[in-house]
Structure 1
Amino acid sequence: MLEQSLEAKVAMMRESMGDVRTVGARTRPGMTKLMTELRTMVSMRDRRNAGALMEISNIERDMQRIDRFRSLIIGGFQQPAPGGFTCRDARNNQTHVSLEQLEAEIGSLEGVAQRLLAV
């Protein structure tokens, strides 16, 4: 969903700048390619305003943090536990993930999506 929204935003920005090519080198570019294209389009649009580029950097940092959390859950899930579940990280350390922490990360991802579309 986030990729589709970002792809639509980049396509809209391209069209407003007079470029009608498809977004990215493929029909379905990944998030990395889309973020690179967004950064390029914003830098061409706002040559003197670095605020939007800083916001894109902050969004990318937050997306990486959320992706690490997602990888912990997907790759390291062990078993349900009271109030959440246990996982093992890349170093084989056992970690408890609470349901509140999971809900906070979901909310954070939704916030990132809104910030990304607002750039």
Structure 2
Amino acid sequence: MSFAPYWGFQQETPHYANPLAHYEERAALIRGWAGAAGPDELAAMLHRSPYPPPNAFLLRREDDGLHLTLSHDAFPHQPNVQIYDVRFDPALFDSPRFVRRDVGPFAVIALTDPGGTRSSR
């Protein structure tokens, strides 16, 4: 993610995220995107994001869909980070708005931006 034009949307763990990055709110958005009813709703949700939306997704391919690992701060419990999986239905990206390329165990999905889902930077 150190090369333009791709920007990270979510830090790996809440402990290292800048408080101004709104880690929990962004995680909630990602969970909401995964629950979209279809590609048009997903694109609309990305467009309405209060934060600049990602212009690409890197998701792990598994038998039951595309997965993204997130974590939650569970302090004071030990371990103090709970890791969980967010599952995206591959059909959410079956649209001209998205281009998908499978690379090893991953799906790289980029927004093509026909409907203005990307923010300008």
Taking structure 1 as the reference length, the TM-score comes to 0.28
Structure that is richer in strand per residue: 2
Q: Greater Rg, structure 1 or structure 2?
A: 1
Structure that is richer in helix per residue: 1
Taking structure 2 as the reference length, the TM-score comes to 0.28
Q: Which structure has more RCO (C-alpha within 8 Å, separation ≥ 6)?
A: 2
